[in-house]
Structure 1
Amino acid sequence: MNEVRTDEEQVEALKAWWKDNGKSLVIMIVVALVAVYGFKAWQQQTLEKSENASALYQQLVDVVVPTPGANIDENLATAKHLVKTLKADYADSEYSKLAALLMAKMAVNAKDLAKAEQELDWLLSVAKKPLLVSVANIRKAQILAEQKKYPQALAALENVQLASLKMQAIELEGDIYLAQGEKLKARTAYEQAMALNTENTAPAILSMKLNDLTTEEG
């Protein structure tokens, strides 16, 4: 009888516990399941978005590097459409940022410097990685210098922080000073660029620029 009573007591205890806690337990289980399956769905959605962005970017690359005989105007129109789609639908992906760089390159080739600057400004408004920020600022400085907007070009170069691109940025700074007739500042910039050439990777043209200024002053 004691065993029966004990079993009955256990059953009653379970019933009482379920009455008090069963609802919250079910909710916890449901929440856990939703979290697990929700995370998996998010992962799948993220993967699909990345694959879609990658496919669009590859189409853009194919347009930027066209086959012989391709229609340049059609390629430019297609590129603009692809970049617009990437920026609108996949703004958080790196593909949209790389697309802006390519679009800026195409715009420069088409002599549309305003469009190129616009693309780089968009990129700089969203990019966080030092490499992209530095590359975009160097290209923007080149475009601004081409338009003789020298103060703005120099300001853009101040935002180049990536060490591996510092030499290129300072050399461009020298070019900008030289374009303004400020030879002393140009020479100083070229010397600073050469000083960063610790692995002897400086282009020969940098040495030529520095030598030319040294010869003139001599």
Structure 2
Amino acid sequence: MAKKEEKPIQIQLAEDDDAEKLRQWWKKNGSGIIAGIVLGVAGVGGVKGWEMYTERRSLTASDLFQQMLARQAAGSDAQAQELALQIRDDYGATPYADLALLMLARLAVENGDRERAEGYLTGVMNDSENMAMEHIARLRLAQIALDAGDHRQAEQLVSVEERGGFESEYSEVLGDVYLEQKQWDKARTAYDRALEGLDPTAGAGQILTAKRNLAMQSATDQ
């Protein structure tokens, strides 16, 4: 039987010393490592828990939003406004907050409160994390300005390079601005741009075509 090879004494002492250092290090830091592992595992659970929490809040906000729409459709504007404010105040981190602000702006316009409506829409335009909501708010602001006869502000609002898929809507509002200013050629050009990619026989296409024809006829009658 082969004799077990003995390690040189200096190596053995070094290993014993390292082992002792390791034991001392573990005694000092081991509990922290275990705690870190526990927290790490809990962190994974925490992420899942947070996702469940945010999902529950979104579902609650969705329910409130549906109630808001139902109240508004039933003519209960005061109740619809109350629900919209609740969504804005309590569920501001959900996508329904922007939609609630759009509803508040609509109700404000119907009540003749242009300033309040503009405040709601400006908030969405400047603060929303959803680009589509930003464009919708900007377009509605432009429409409010146009309805108030503020052609300059309306034109400034829709004169943007980045239109995020709302090219037709921006061009239509711009055409409306020019139409009211009796700039017939500019109006026709804007409506032509708005009609690009649209079915002229569809509802929106028919309206745009009628506006375009009005601009052309007005230019001819001059």
Interval of TM-score (by shorter of Structure 1 and Structure 2): 0.7 to 0.9
In structure 2, the partner of 1:90 is 91
In structure 2, the partner of 1:5 is none
Write the distance in 2 (CA, Å) between the matches of 1:131 and 1:62: 24
Measured after TM superposition, the shift of residue 198 of structure 1 is: 5.5
Write the distance in 1 (CA, Å) between the matches of 2:67 and 2:127: 22
1:141 equivalent to 2:142? Answer yes
Write the distance in 1 (CA, Å) between the matches of 2:82 and 2:198: 43
Distance 1:53-1:182 versus aligned 2 partners, 3 A rule: same
Any stretches of 5+ residues in structure 2 without a counterpart?
Answer: 5-12
Write the distance in 2 (CA, Å) between the matches of 1:190 and 1:89: 41
In structure 2, the partner of 1:179 is 180
Q: Taking every aligned residue pair, what percent have the same amino acid on both sides?
A: 27
Any stretches of 5+ residues in structure 1 without a counterpart?
Answer: 3-8, 67-71
Write the distance in 1 (CA, Å) between the matches of 2:217 and 2:60: 56
Counterpart pick for 2:216 among 192, 210, 214:
214
Equivalent pairs, count: 202
In structure 1, the partner of 2:65 is 57
In structure 1, the partner of 2:189 is 188
Measured after TM superposition, the shift of residue 168 of structure 1 is: 2.0
| Residues 64 and 102, structure 1, Cα contact 8 Å, conserved in 2 | no
Write the distance in 2 (CA, Å) between the matches of 1:14 and 1:24: 15
In structure 2, the partner of 1:18 is 23
| Residues 64 and 106, structure 1, Cα contact 8 Å, conserved in 2 | no
In structure 1, the partner of 2:116 is 115
Query: Any idea what the Cα deviations from partners look like across 1:68-123, whole Å, max 9, x if unmatched?
Result: xxxx4xx3332333222222222221110111112222223333333322211111
Write the distance in 1 (CA, Å) between the matches of 2:150 and 2:98: 25
Write the distance in 2 (CA, Å) between the matches of 1:132 and 1:100: 10
Write the distance in 1 (CA, Å) between the matches of 2:86 and 2:198: 42
In structure 2, the partner of 1:43 is 51
Write the distance in 1 (CA, Å) between the matches of 2:174 and 2:72: 29
Write the distance in 2 (CA, Å) between the matches of 1:33 and 1:170: 58
Q: Taking structure 2 as the reference length, what is the TM-score of the superposition?
A: 0.77
